[in-house]
Structure 1
Amino acid sequence: STPVLYSLELTPVCNNRCRGCSNVFAEARVARTVPPPLGAAEWGVILDHIAPYAEQLKLTGGEPTLHPEFEAIVRRVSDLGLNFTLFTNARWPDPERLVHFLADVPQCVGLLVSLHGPTAPVHEAFTGVPGSFEETVANIRLATSAGLLVATSTVITRQSHDRIAETVTLAADLGADHAVVSRYLGEPLPDVEPTLGELLTAVHTIEELRRSGARVRYGDCIPQCFVENSSTGCLAGVAYCAIDPWGNLRPCNHSPTVAGSLLNQPVETLWHSAAMEQWRSLIPAACHTCTEFPRCHGGCRALAELRPERRDPLVGAPLAQARPPERLRLYEGLRPVRRYRIRREDFGYVLMRGNRIAPLPFEDEPILEACDGQTTLRQIERRFGQHGLSLVAALYRKGLLELEPAA
Structure 2
Amino acid sequence: MSSGKHHIPVIVFEVTDACNQRCLFCYNHWKRPGCTVAPPAPDFRLARRTLRRLLRQCSVGSISLSGGEPTLMPGIHDLALKARFGGANVNLLTNGTILGEDDVEIMSHIGVAAVQIPILATDPAVHDHITGLPGSWAKAVRSANMISSSRPGWFVPVLIVSRLNVHSVEDTLRFYASEFGATTAMVNRFNIGGLGLQHASELSLSIEDLKDVFKRIDKVAGDLGMTVQSGVCTPICVLDPNEYPNIRFSHCTTDLSSRPLTVNYKGDVRFCNHSPRVIGNIYEKPIGDIVAESQADGYFNSVPDHCKECTLWSRCRGGCRAASEQLYGTFDRVDPVLEGC
Shorter chain as denominator, the TM-score bin is 0.7 to 0.9
1:166-245 alignment to 2 at 5 Å?
A: 166-173=171-178, 174-187=180-193, 188=197, 189-212=200-223, 213-229=225-241, 230=244, 231-235=249-253, 237=256, 238-245=258-265
SS at match of 2:52: helix
Unpaired segments ≥5 residues, structure 2: 1-5
Does the alignment pair 1:120 with 2:136?
no
Query: What is the deviation of 1:29?
Result: 11
276 and 97 in structure 1: CA distance in 2 versus 1, 3 angstrom threshold: farther
TM-score by length of 2: 0.83
Rounded to whole Å, the distance in 1 between the matches of 2:34 and 2:58 is: 29
8 and 114 in structure 1: CA distance in 2 versus 1, 3 angstrom threshold: same
1:54-69 alignment to 2 at 5 Å?
A: 54-69=60-75
Query: Mean Cα displacement is larger for which, 146-155 or 266-275?
Result: 266-275
264 and 35 in structure 1: CA distance in 2 versus 1, 3 angstrom threshold: farther
Query: What is the deviation of 1:47?
Result: 3.4
Larger relative helix fraction: 2
Instruction: Select the residue among 309, 315, 321 that pairs with 1:295.
Output: 315
Does the alignment pair 1:259 with 2:282?
no
276 and 233 in structure 1: CA distance in 2 versus 1, 3 angstrom threshold: farther
Contact 2:9/2:61 (<8 A) preserved: yes
**Aligned counterpart, 1:78:** 84
Does the alignment pair 1:48 with 2:59?
no
Task: Pick the structure with greater CA Rg.
Answer: 1
**Aligned counterpart, 1:146:** 150
Q: One-letter code of the match for 1:43?
A: T
Contact 2:51/2:265 (<8 A) preserved: no
Contact 1:51/1:80 (<8 A) preserved: no
Query: What is the deviation of 1:283?
Result: 3.6
Q: One-letter code of the match for 2:202?
A: D
How many pairs are equivalent?
313
Q: One-letter code of the match for 1:152?
A: P
Rounded to whole Å, the distance in 1 between the matches of 2:292 and 2:57 is: 15
Rounded to whole Å, the distance in 2 between the matches of 1:193 and 1:216 is: 21
Q: One-letter code of the match for 1:47?
A: L
1:321-336 alignment to 2 at 5 Å?
A: none
| Higher RCO by CA contacts (8 Å cutoff, separation 6 or greater) | 2
**Aligned counterpart, 2:3:** none
Does the alignment pair 1:111 with 2:115?
yes
235 and 89 in structure 1: CA distance in 2 versus 1, 3 angstrom threshold: farther
Rounded to whole Å, the distance in 2 between the matches of 1:241 and 1:147 is: 29
Rounded to whole Å, the distance in 2 between the matches of 1:266 and 1:28 is: 32
Contact 1:270/1:276 (<8 A) preserved: no
Query: What is the deviation of 1:261?
Result: 1.0
Contact 1:43/1:73 (<8 A) preserved: no
100 and 276 in structure 1: CA distance in 2 versus 1, 3 angstrom threshold: farther
Contact 1:298/1:315 (<8 A) preserved: no
Does the alignment pair 1:95 with 2:133?
no
28 and 75 in structure 1: CA distance in 2 versus 1, 3 angstrom threshold: farther
Q: Deviation string for 1:207-262 (max 9, x for gaps)?
A: 32344333222122222212423423124644111012321000011110001211
42 and 276 in structure 1: CA distance in 2 versus 1, 3 angstrom threshold: farther
Rounded to whole Å, the distance in 2 between the matches of 1:35 and 1:275 is: 31
Query: What is the deviation of 1:285?
Result: 4.8
Q: Provide the identity percentage.
A: 25
Q: One-letter code of the match for 2:335?
A: D
Instruction: Select the residue among 122, 129, 134 that pairs with 2:138.
Output: 134
Instruction: Select the residue among 20, 40, 62 that pairs with 1:15.
Output: 20
**Aligned counterpart, 1:401:** none
Q: One-letter code of the match for 1:78?
A: R
138 and 235 in structure 1: CA distance in 2 versus 1, 3 angstrom threshold: farther
Query: What is the deviation of 1:51?
Result: 4.2
Q: One-letter code of the match for 1:216?
A: V
TM-score by length of 1: 0.70
16 and 255 in structure 1: CA distance in 2 versus 1, 3 angstrom threshold: same
